[in-house]
Amino acid sequence: MIAFEYTTLQHLWWLIVAVVGSLFLFLTFVQGGQSLLWQVAKTETEKNLVINSLGRKWELAFTTLVLFGGALFASFPKFYATSFGGAYWVWMLILFSFIIQAVSYEFRKKPWNIFGSSVYEFFLFINGVLGILLIGAAVGTLYTGANFVLDANNFVTWTHPYRGLEAVFSLSLASVFNISLGLFLVFNARTLGAMYLVSNIELGHAPEMAGRLRAACRLNCLISLPFLLVIVGSLLFMRGYGIVDDQGTIESISFKFLRNLIANPWLILLLVGGVGLLLVGAWKTSIVGETRGIWFSGPGTVFIGLTVFLLPALNRTPFYPSLADPQSSLTIYNASSSPYTLTVMTYVAMVIPLVLAYISYVWWLMDRKKMTIEDTEDRSSY
Amino acid sequence: MVENIDPSMVHWARAQFAMTAMYHWLFVPLTLGLSWILAFYHTIYFKTGSEEWRRLTKFWMKLFAVNFVIGIATGLILEFQFGTNWSNYSWMVGDIFGAPLAIEGIVAFFLEATFFAVMFFGWNRVSKGFHLFSTWMVAAASSLSAVWILIANSWMQYPIGQVFNPETARFEMESFFTVIFSPYAINKFVHATSSSMIMGSLFVLSVSSWFLLRGRHVLLAKRSIVVAAIFGLFASAFTIFNGDESAYEIAQVQPMKLAAFEGLYEGERRAGLVAFGIINRDKQVYDEQEAFVGRTLQIPGALSLLANRSIDSFVPGMKDLVYGNAEENILGSAQKMYRGKQAVASLNALREARANGDAEAAAVHLAEFNQFKEFLGYGYLDRPEDAIPPVALTFNAFHIMVALGTLFPLIFLAYLYFSYKGTLETRKWLLGFGTITYVLGMIASQAGWIVAEVGRQPWAIQGLLPVTIARTNLTTGTVQTTFFLFLALFTLLFLAKISILTKQIIIGPEEK
């Protein structure tokens, strides 16, 4: 095997994790679509169109989330242990929202499903809103920090009784930031959801819903922007933590994220490009009346996601700062797997392009023909 | 490291993992087994173009889908539970254990998710050839996912290819190929997948038998049975043959587990295999009570043969493994604990020396640590007897599994025989029994995992990391709360699944 530099591997794996996370954020159009269901689909036929259209993709989003967790476990086990074991309740609630999603598509319309279709639709709504909000808040703690201490064995003790929920429930600027990120992702998911449905459904079969979808795309995009503004504005002024010497000492640093942006100006381009693409897509879908807006906003979301995941980790920044004990903070250097494991995983990761290729091929193959009412009437449909 | 352990938290965390895993395993074997049977049905349809086979394939696919999604839901929780309830474990072995989990995601889950959608919704959207290909891909992908998760599980039973790094206080991977080609993993994969194929076959048998008893969908039921019974028979042969191989493996690497599932307290030569016996639940390793209540039925020498491939060989009992047996050159957990405590002390001294910048002392403590490091895990046990897993549960689960596992090939043979004679429909007794065989399969399968996992106790990683250390620092109340939340949610979803499945079976295949 080729021996890569340890720090190269650590950076590479943070990048891979960031790419998987960003692709997940794009795929949250599934969750966004779920949360729009009751709003855009007024008749049973419209509902069936929406559910069957999203139902072809939900597993992909779900699997990407699972891979995100798996990749973190393999490459940054200290983060996996610290965050999942520490910020217990946030992750538990996120998991609950995904358990109920997994069964809802299949069970919703089936006879004898015990709870009735509206309960399963409610499950989808919960997953679409609460699941994404909490994921956003959890990602927000990469910037605002978390309350933990690691002992000599690197075992975690959480120092806040809410066990992770303080990310949203404490009266602090940090909570405002975390909630803003969560809400941005929720409304962005809804914008993307509307775009996906416009592009995927044979709109001639539901002309009224088409209008509602385009309106929802516009409205949700507009609502999401102030939250994005809060996030970007905060980032320019926020204090952060940084590694200040070769021993890995961590100290609080003013304007840390602004410094990171200046040190990596390509992140600014990524962010501006991402927001630009997002707006172009929304404009095309809601104003111009095209169907392919998601081709712009999807990649736009990926670019924004990459900025969100890379900014708190690059430039000698601890990506999971501890507020209780800064020296316990996790950096890509102290939280990663061994060089051997990262090397092995790098070879394994070489199949990822192949995976992306067959996913794209099958996506194209299955979606060449748009979703029609007939597709929703088959007994095997959702 | 061992201070502040709340034993009841560890119990609840174990209970939660066991509950999630058992719910998961109610659904997964059916996915694993039925996916291959679907591939056969679909292939026959592809070859014959017969409308009847299309309806048959679609019908089983429908039932497959209802089962599949709930396996995904429970599987998600299993993956993340390593982090939430077992975070020390995640840190200490994540360097090795995380890799197969991530690889499972990359190579198997996407394949499964992508082609599942084509298999299920592709009837009019893709070419017939590509559609068939997709069905085969779903089967291959579900087995591929089993490969990786079972590699991970096998490593917990037989942790090879790793080394403890005192600098980072964790175990690190030394050889990826040693981990993935571990003989334990290969055995486990064969055993788990072939037994799942039995489960898939039993499911088809149960549903089809019910149809035949009611005189409905007779042709479909008979055709389904023939394919499933042949498949099940082959799978049974693999399972039994491999069960023997697994027992040999366990005897070599987890002798305590073998002793527990045979209720063997005193080691012996020409050890017999218990064919029937009632285990004495009150018996402790240090007392003189009988191991069994009343008489046992034993096959003489069979355990020695199974464990060491030699009828005269010595099979150590729990007493030997706890207190040692100098004559047979067996180190007991008592001696291992002594060495383990020395390893722990050296590790702490090493850290202190490092903190004080005393390189000389650090080198001495490192050398001491290296001398005893293979016993590190034993250093965290409180009593030598703690190395014994719950004997009665392991014993009973093992014997239930073996008894049922022996019964299944006979059932498949009976179905094939009467199908061949053309009198299957008149054998009401067989069909009646056949309708419940799936439940028996489920019991056998669950029992198998109880043997594997309860038999591994007190270890999270055999010999290296006890469950008491592997846990997250949580209060008992927190883990209890999530335990009952999961229990309630899984139970409700399980009931919904059973209800939907029942209705789908009653509706039967599509009309012509």
Whole-number pLDDT of residue B433: 95
Q: Which two tokens stand for residue B450?
A: 């109880």
Q: Are B174 and B11 in contact (CB under 8 A)?
A: no
A340 and B173 within 8 Å at the Cβ level: the answer is yes
**pLDDT tens, residue by residue, A46-59:** 999 999 999 999 99
pLDDT above 80: residue A217? yes
- Of B325, B354, B380, the one marking the end of a domain is B380
Task: Please check whether residues B422 and B376 belong to one and the same domain.
Answer: no
Q: Are B242 and B187 in contact (CB under 8 A)?
A: yes
Task: Please check whether residues B20 and B105 belong to one and the same domain.
Answer: yes
Q: Please, where are the H alpha helices in chain A? A: 6-27, 29-40, 44-55, 58-75, 77-79, 85-86, 88-107, 117-126, 132-144, 166-169, 173-200, 207-237, 256-263, 265-283, 294-310, 339-349, 352-367
Number of structural domains in chain B: 2
Q: Which two tokens stand for residue B120?
A: 């299920």
CA dihedral for B152, B157, B158, B161, sign (positive or negative): positive
Q: Does residue B494 sit within a domain?
A: yes
B1: pLDDT confidence band, cut at 50, 70 and 90?
A: very low
**pLDDT tens, residue by residue, B179-228:** 999 999 999 999 999 999 999 999 999 999 999 999 999 999 999 999 99
Assign B5 to helix, strand or coil: coil
B69 and A66 within 8 Å at the Cβ level: the answer is no
Task: Please check whether residues B354 and B412 belong to one and the same domain.
Answer: no
Q: Are strands B314-315 and B292-299 parallel, antiparallel or unpaired?
A: unpaired
Q: What are the boundaries of each domain within chain A?
A: 6-376
| Nearest Cβ partner for B503 among A111, A155, A375 | A111
- C-alpha pair distances (Å), A304 with each of A196, A267, B85, B99: 18, 9, 32, 28
B-contacting residues in A 108-147 (Cβ below 8 Å): 110-115
Helix, strand, coil percentages for chain B (3-state, nearest 5): 75, 5, 20
**pLDDT tens, residue by residue, B297-333:** 999 999 999 999 999 999 999 999 999 999 999 999 9
- ipTM beyond 0.95? no
Task: Please check whether residues B441 and B363 belong to one and the same domain.
Answer: no
Contact residues, chain B, for A91 at CB < 8 Å: 80, 83-84
Q: Does residue B386 sit within a domain?
A: no
Backbone dihedral region for residue A67 (phi beyond 0: left; psi -120 to 50: alpha; all else: beta): alpha
B-contacting residues in A 307-366 (Cβ below 8 Å): 337-338, 340-341, 344-345, 348-349, 351-352, 355, 358-359, 362, 365-366
Q: Does residue B480 sit within a domain?
A: yes
Assign A253 to helix, strand or coil: strand
The amino acid present at B14, given as its one-letter code, is R
Whole-number pLDDT of residue A93: 96
Q: Is B172 on the interface with A (CB under 8 A)?
A: yes
Task: Please check whether residues B132 and B235 belong to one and the same domain.
Answer: yes
| Chain Cα centroid distance, residue B508 | 32
**pLDDT tens, residue by residue, B390-420:** 999 999 999 999 999 999 999 999 999 999 9
CA gap A298, A288 in Å, rounded: 18
Task: Please check whether residues B398 and B478 belong to one and the same domain.
Answer: yes
Task: Please check whether residues B367 and B487 belong to one and the same domain.
Answer: no
Q: Does residue B94 sit within a domain?
A: yes
Burial class (CB within 10 angstroms; exposed 0-12, middle 13-18, buried 19+) of B203: buried
| Low-confidence winner among A215-224, A319-328, B2-11, B283-292 (lowest mean pLDDT) | B2-11
Q: Does residue B270 sit within a domain?
A: no
| Minimum distance, in Å, between the CA of residue A245 and any CA atom of chain B | 18
Residue B53's closest CA among B128, B118, B110?
Answer: B128
Q: Are strands B268-269 and B314-315 parallel, antiparallel or unpaired?
A: antiparallel
Q: Does residue B266 sit within a domain?
A: no
Burial class (CB within 10 angstroms; exposed 0-12, middle 13-18, buried 19+) of A248: middle
Task: Please check whether residues B79 and B113 belong to one and the same domain.
Answer: yes
A67 and B106 within 8 Å at the Cβ level: the answer is yes
pLDDT above 90: residue B102? yes
Range of the domain at B363: 333-380
- Across the range B143-157, mean pLDDT stands at 95
Entry pTM: 0.94
**pLDDT tens, residue by residue, A246-293:** 888 999 999 999 999 999 999 999 999 999 999 999 999 999 999 999
Contact residues, chain B, for A349 at CB < 8 Å: 106
| Minimum distance, in Å, between the CA of residue B84 and any CA atom of chain A | 4
pLDDT above 60: residue B2? no
Q: Does residue B323 sit within a domain?
A: no
- Across the range B8-34, mean pLDDT stands at 94
Task: Please check whether residues B114 and B219 belong to one and the same domain.
Answer: yes
Q: Is A61 on the interface with B (CB under 8 A)?
A: no
A338 and B172 within 8 Å at the Cβ level: the answer is yes
Assign A21 to helix, strand or coil: helix
Whole-number pLDDT of residue A379: 75
Q: Does residue B179 sit within a domain?
A: yes
Q: Are A366 and B118 in contact (CB under 8 A)?
A: yes
Assign B279 to helix, strand or coil: strand
**E strand or H helix that includes residue B239:** helix B218-253
Contact residues, chain B, for A69 at CB < 8 Å: 79-80, 83
Whole-number pLDDT of residue A166: 92
Whole-number pLDDT of residue B5: 61
Whole-number pLDDT of residue A2: 64
Give the CB-side neighbour count of residue B177, counting CA atoms within 13 A. Answer: 1
Contact residues, chain B, for A84 at CB < 8 Å: 80, 82-84, 87, 90
